[in-house]
Structures are given as C-alpha cells and as structure tokens.
Amino acid sequence: MPCYWLYREIGEAYRGCVSPEPVYQDWLAIYQSAEYADGLKRQIDLLDRVAEQLPEAVLTEMRRDFLISSYAELAFWDMGLKRKNWNGSDKDGELATY
C-alpha cells in the first residue's frame, strides 16, 4: 500500500508541473488522474474495513509491515537521488541507513 499511496502523493505534489521528458509527463498524468485516486481510495477503504475485523496483534503486525514498506520506498527514492549502487553504497562507498 505505501507504494501505491506514495505515487499518488508525488503526482499531487507535482500537479501543474510539466516535464520536458514525455515519459515522465505520462507518469505524472497517471498518478494525478481521478481514476488512480479512485482506485487508491477503494484500496484504502477496503483495507480499513478488513482491519476493523482483525485482532490487535494482527493490526500491530500490519502497522509494522506498513512502516517497513514505507522505509523501503524511502530507500528506493533516496537511492536514485544519491545515485546509490544496488549494494546500497554511493560513489564514495557510504552505505544508506534509515
């Protein structure tokens, strides 16, 4: 869910911006679309309905997993920003930590 949700947030943050690269403009258009927003809302609503039926121990695991996934998304974007290698180190050999 964090990836799905984050892309919508990024799309909204860049609403009104135009990329000189058509592929990125197409990417923004997808995540800014009403259809994408509606799909995300349906997923969040579904997860909320399911969560209402679950015991606290399972909800605790779900929250932990959501946070882990969120950190993985952060690491993914940070890797591109800092031009990290797949092994997690940047050009100076510094490892990413979160």
Which 3-state string (H, E, C) describes 65-92?
A: HHHHHHHHHHHHHHHHHCCCCCCCECCC
For 28, residues 6+ apart whose C-beta sits below 8 A from its C-beta are 11, 14, 17, 19
Per the annotation, the verdict on 17 as an active-site residue is no
Residues belonging to the chain: 98
The single-letter code of the amino acid at 92 is D
Q: Say whether 73 is catalytic.
A: yes
Report how far residue 14's alpha carbon sits from residue 3's, in angstroms, rounded to the nearest whole number: 17
Q: What gap in Å lies between CA 48 and CA 3, rounded to an integer?
A: 17
> Residue 55 is which amino acid?
P
Q: pLDDT for 82-96, tens place per residue?
A: 877 666 565 666 655
pLDDT tens digits for range 19-77: 898 898 999 999 999 999 999 999 999 999 999 999 999 999 999 999 999 988 888 88
